[in-house]
Structure 1
C-alpha cells in the first residue's frame, strides 16, 4: 500500500503558492486495511477515509467505470487494490491537478502537469474523462479566474466547444453548478470565469440571462464602457477588489439582467430595467437552487440600485420606504451589503473605477435617523394595533424631513 499527496496540494507546491488543504491517494489499499489503521470512512459513492489525528482525506485509488449515468451527474468511479496511480490521475480534470507527490518529495507526473505549469497552460488530461463530467467546463473556467496568467490549451477550447454543440451542458445538476459558481466568485478577478465561459459558448447554456447582456449598449455619458456585459464584469471585479461577501458579488453579477429585456428601440436607455430584471433573476435562482440569503439581497439590489444612486434627490417618504424594503431597519449589515453592491456598480465603469460614492453616507445617516424613532412609544400610543405600521412610517418620514431640512440649511450656510 502506497500513500501519496495528490491534486491541488502538489500543484500549489510547485507554483510556490500556499497549500490550504492536502488530499491523499491510497494505492493498493483496501477499506479493511484503512479501518484497521484507525481511519474513519466517510462518503457514499466511493471510499474516502479521514485520518484519525489530522482529519485529512485519504481516498482509495479509483478509476472511472463506464456505466449508464444520470444526465448531469458525476461519473461513477470504482476503487480497487489493482487500480494504479496513473489510472487514478488519468480521471482528473486538468494536467496541473493530475500530479502526485511521495513522502520524499518525488513528483509523479504522467500527464505533463509540471510542464503546463511552467508554460502557464490549462489543459485537460484526456478527452474521455473530461467528456464524462461536463461540470469540468465550469471548473476549467474557475481555474482560469484563479490563475489569470494561464491560457487555455487550443485542444481544450475545441473540446469544450464540441461539448456545448453536442448539448453536454444541457443537463448539469443545479447544486454542482452553484458550487462551482460560488468558488469562481471567491476569486480576486471572478469576471474571467464568466468571460471564458462566454468565449467557449458555454455561458449561453449555463447562464443565458447574463450572456444576453453583451452587445447591449448603455448611455456613454454614464457608462463610458458602453457595453452592458463589460460593465457587469467590471462591477463584479470592483466588488471582489473591495472584499465583498459572496452574497454581494452574486447581487452585483445579476443586478442589470433587465437591460437585456428593455426595448431595443429605446437603447441605449433602459427604462424600468430594474423591474424587468426581477424575472430573469428569479429564473436563475430557481435553476441553480440559489440559497435564500443570496436571492433576497440580489432582488433588493436589482430593484433598488438606481434609487440608491439617486438618493440625494429622493423625498423623505421614498427614502423611508427604501430602507424598509431593503431590510435596513432590521439589520445594519443588510444596508451595508446593499451599499457595497451599489458602490461596486458605480465603480464598474471605464475611467470611473476610483470615484467617490457619497450616497453611502447619505443612506447611513438616514438609517440612523429612522432608527432613532421610538417605535415602542408609538405602538403604546396607538388605540389599535392595525394603526401602528402607518403611524410608525409617518413618524420616520417626519424625522427624515427634519434631518434633510437641517442638511439643506447647513449646505446653504
Structure 2
C-alpha cells in the first residue's frame, strides 16, 4: 500500500498558497485492507474512505470509462493493480494531476509543474471532453488564478468549445452546475469565469440571458464602457473587489438582463428594462435552483436598482414603498445587500470605479427613520388591525418627509 497526496494540495503548495483541503490516493490496496486499518467508507460510486483519526478523504486509485451522458455517466474500476499514473490521467488539468509521497517527492507524469510555471490551464488527456462539468471547473480555476497570470490553453479552450456545442452541458444537473457557479462567483475575479464561459460558447448554453447582453449598447453618458455585457463583468468585478457575499454577486450578474430584450431600434435606451428583466431573472434562478436568498435579492435588485440610483430624487411616498417592498423592519440585511448591489452597479462603469455613492448612506438613513417610528403610541390611541397598519404607514411617511427635507 502506497499513499500519495494529490490534486489541489500539491498544486497550491507549489504555488506557495495556503493548503486548505488535502486529498489522498491509495495505490496497491483493497477495500478490505482499508477497512481492516480502521478507515470508514463514504463513497457510494467508488471506494473513498475517511481516515480514522484526521477524517481526511483517502480514495483507492481508479480508472474510469465513459458510459453515458453528463457528469455521472462513468463506470469506475478500482483495484490494487491500478497505477498512480493511471489514476492521475483521469483528472481534469495537468496542474491537478500531480502527486507527492511522504518525503515530498513529486510524481508529475503530465508536466503539471511546467504548466504551473508557465501559468497555463491545460487538460491532461482527450478524456477531458467526456465530462461536461469540467467546462465550468476550468472557468472557475481561471477565475481563481487570473491574478497570478493563468490563462486557458488554446487546445483546452477548443475542447471546451466542442463540449459546449455537443449538447453535453445540458445533461448537467442544476445542483452540480450551481455548486460550480456559486464557488466561481466567490473567487477573486469572478468576471473571468463568465468571460471564459463566453469564450468557449458555454455561456450561451448555460445562461443565454447573460450572453445576450454582449454587444448591446447603453447611453455613453451613464455608461462610458457602452457595452452592457462588459458593464455586467465590471459590476461583478467590483462586487468581488469589495468582498461582497454570494447573494450580492449573483444579483450583480443578473441585474440588467432586461436590456437584452430591448428592440434594436430603441438602443441605446432601455426603457422599463427593470420590469422586462424580471421574467429572465426568474428563469435563471429556477434553472440553477439558486438558494432562496439569492433568488429573492436578484429579483429585488433587478426591479429596483434604478430606484437606488435615483434615491435622492424619490418622493417620500416612493421611498416608503421601496422600504416596504424590502420589509426593512424584519429583513434589514436584505436591504443592506440591495444598497451595496446598487453601489457595485454604479462603480462598474469604465473610469467611474472610485466614484462616491451618496445614495447608500441616504437609503440607510431612510431605513433607520422608518424603523424608528414607534408602534406603542398608536396602540395607546386605540389603533388595531388594518387601521394600525395604515396609521403606522402615515407616521412613517411623515417621518420620511421630514428626513427628506433635512437631508
User: TM-score range, shorter-chain basis?
Assistant: over 0.9
Matches within 5 A, 1:317-332: 317-332=317-332
Question: Residues 3 and 25 of structure 1 are in contact (CA less than 8 Å); yes or no, is this contact kept in structure 2?
Answer: yes
2:102 matches 1:103:
yes
Which deviates more from structure 2 when the two are superposed, residues 46-55 or residues 296-305?
46-55
- 1:43-87 CA-to-partner distances (Å, cap 9, x unmatched) read 3111211112211111111111342x2545353323222221111
> What are the ranges of 5 or more consecutive residues in structure 2 without an aligned counterpart?
none
Q: 3-state SS of the aligned residue for 1:223?
A: coil
The 1-side partners of 2:265 and 2:378 are apart by 50
Q: How many residue pairs are counted as aligned between the two chains?
A: 405
Q: Which residue of 2 aligns with 1:159?
A: 159
- 1:353-411 CA-to-partner distances (Å, cap 9, x unmatched) read 0000100110111111111111344356455512232222111101111222233xxxx
Q: Which residue of 1 aligns with 2:132?
A: 134
The 1-side partners of 2:104 and 2:65 are apart by 31
Which deviates more from structure 2 when the two are superposed, residues 163-172 or residues 242-251?
163-172
Which deviates more from structure 2 when the two are superposed, residues 159-168 or residues 307-316?
159-168
Give the direction of change, closer, same or farther, for the CA distance of 1:322–1:60 in structure 2 (3 Å limit).
same
The 1-side partners of 2:84 and 2:382 are apart by 75
Question: Residues 316 and 400 of structure 2 are in contact (CA less than 8 Å); yes or no, is this contact kept in structure 1?
Answer: yes
Q: 3-state SS of the aligned residue for 1:356?
A: coil
TM-score of the aligned structures, taking structure 2 as reference length: 0.96
Task: Report the CA distance between 1:203 and its aligned residue.
Answer: 0.7
Q: Which residue of 1 aligns with 2:120?
A: 121
- 1:199-251 CA-to-partner distances (Å, cap 9, x unmatched) read 11111001101000000000000000000000010010101000100111001
Q: 3-state SS of the aligned residue for 2:219?
A: coil
The 2-side partners of 1:66 and 1:272 are apart by 48
The 2-side partners of 1:378 and 1:335 are apart by 26
Task: Report the CA distance between 1:279 and its aligned residue.
Answer: 0.6
Which deviates more from structure 2 when the two are superposed, residues 9-18 or residues 324-333?
324-333
> What are the ranges of 5 or more consecutive residues in structure 1 without an aligned counterpart?
408-413
Task: Report the CA distance between 1:329 and its aligned residue.
Answer: 2.0
Which deviates more from structure 2 when the two are superposed, residues 355-364 or residues 80-89?
80-89
Q: 3-state SS of the aligned residue for 1:297?
A: helix
The 1-side partners of 2:389 and 2:262 are apart by 35
Question: Residues 328 and 371 of structure 2 are in contact (CA less than 8 Å); yes or no, is this contact kept in structure 1?
Answer: no
The 2-side partners of 1:259 and 1:116 are apart by 40
Question: Residues 274 and 303 of structure 2 are in contact (CA less than 8 Å); yes or no, is this contact kept in structure 1?
Answer: yes
The 2-side partners of 1:132 and 1:319 are apart by 53
Q: Which residue of 2 aligns with 1:411?
A: none
Give the direction of change, closer, same or farther, for the CA distance of 1:162–1:406 in structure 2 (3 Å limit).
closer
The 1-side partners of 2:406 and 2:248 are apart by 33
2:335 matches 1:363:
no
Question: Residues 379 and 385 of structure 1 are in contact (CA less than 8 Å); yes or no, is this contact kept in structure 2?
Answer: no
Q: Which residue of 1 aligns with 2:333?
A: 333
Q: Which residue of 2 aligns with 1:252?
A: 252
The 2-side partners of 1:65 and 1:122 are apart by 23
Question: Residues 234 and 349 of structure 1 are in contact (CA less than 8 Å); yes or no, is this contact kept in structure 2?
Answer: yes
Q: 1:144 aligned to 114, 120, 142, which one?
A: 142
RMSD across aligned positions (CA): 1.4
Question: Residues 73 and 173 of structure 1 are in contact (CA less than 8 Å); yes or no, is this contact kept in structure 2?
Answer: no
The 1-side partners of 2:283 and 2:293 are apart by 16
Which deviates more from structure 2 when the two are superposed, residues 73-82 or residues 24-33?
73-82
